[in-house]
């Protein structure tokens, strides 16, 4: 999670979010993007800083199965005409010019009760790179375990993750997705 956006920030807050050694020095954090410029760094320049590539809040939506064998039900987010759920932000921080098209899990009968976790983007650069891990509701998955594919106008990663939806099944719940 990112640092708070107001109030006091301590060296301990910085070390917890961004890492570093003891004793802590401001020079350790020079590589992190902070607001402002010049040679002087103020603690308020770290408001919102994060060690992660991207952190998205997903308001869980639901879509019923569209096909008796291969599709759904879905929980999470998808855009488009049959979309469900919502996310904030929608832009992909690890792929300039891209937006998220899917952050969801489906449970089609063809996978014997297992959920299929999907990450989808549109726009930007298409390649099986940009992130190493994704954490959904506190569970971390490695990109190297996902199947990667592209179709006209989008790219996506898919992984069978077990019998429990990473997004849960409560419509309207907020889940956090973090890319590193």
Q: Which of 141, 142, 143 is nearest to 128 (CA)?
A: 143
The predicted pLDDT at position 32 comes to 57
| Structural domain spans, the chain | 11-46, 54-179
Strands 74-78 and 154-162: unpaired
- Residues 6-18: tens digit of each pLDDT: 777 777 777 777 6
Confidence check: pLDDT of 46 > 70: no
Q: Is the peptide bond before 89 cis (omega within 30 degrees of 0)?
A: yes
Confidence check: pLDDT of 104 > 70: yes
């Amino acid at each position: 999670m990112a640092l708070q956006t107001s109030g006091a920030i301590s060296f301990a807050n910085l070390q917890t979010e961004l890492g570093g050694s003891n004793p802590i020095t401001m020079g350790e954090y020079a590589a992190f993007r902070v607001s402002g410029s010049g040679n002087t760094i103020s603690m308020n320049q770290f408001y919102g800083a994060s060690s992660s590539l991207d952190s998205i809040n997903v308001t869980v939506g639901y879509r019923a199965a569209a096909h008796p064998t291969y599709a759904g039900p879905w929980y999470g987010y998808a855009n488009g005409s049959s979309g469900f759920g919502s996310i904030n932000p929608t832009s992909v921080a690890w792929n300039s010019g891209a937006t998220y098209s899917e952050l969801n899990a489906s449970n089609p009968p063809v996978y014997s009760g297992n959920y299929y976790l999907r990450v989808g983007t549109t726009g930007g650069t298409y390649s099986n790179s940009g992130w190493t891990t994704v954490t959904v509701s506190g569970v971390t998955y490695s990109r190297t375990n996902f199947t990667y594919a592209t179709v006209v106008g989008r790219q996506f990663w898919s992984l069978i993750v077990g019998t429990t939806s990473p997004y849960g099944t409560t419509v309207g719940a907020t889940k956090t997705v973090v890319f590193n």
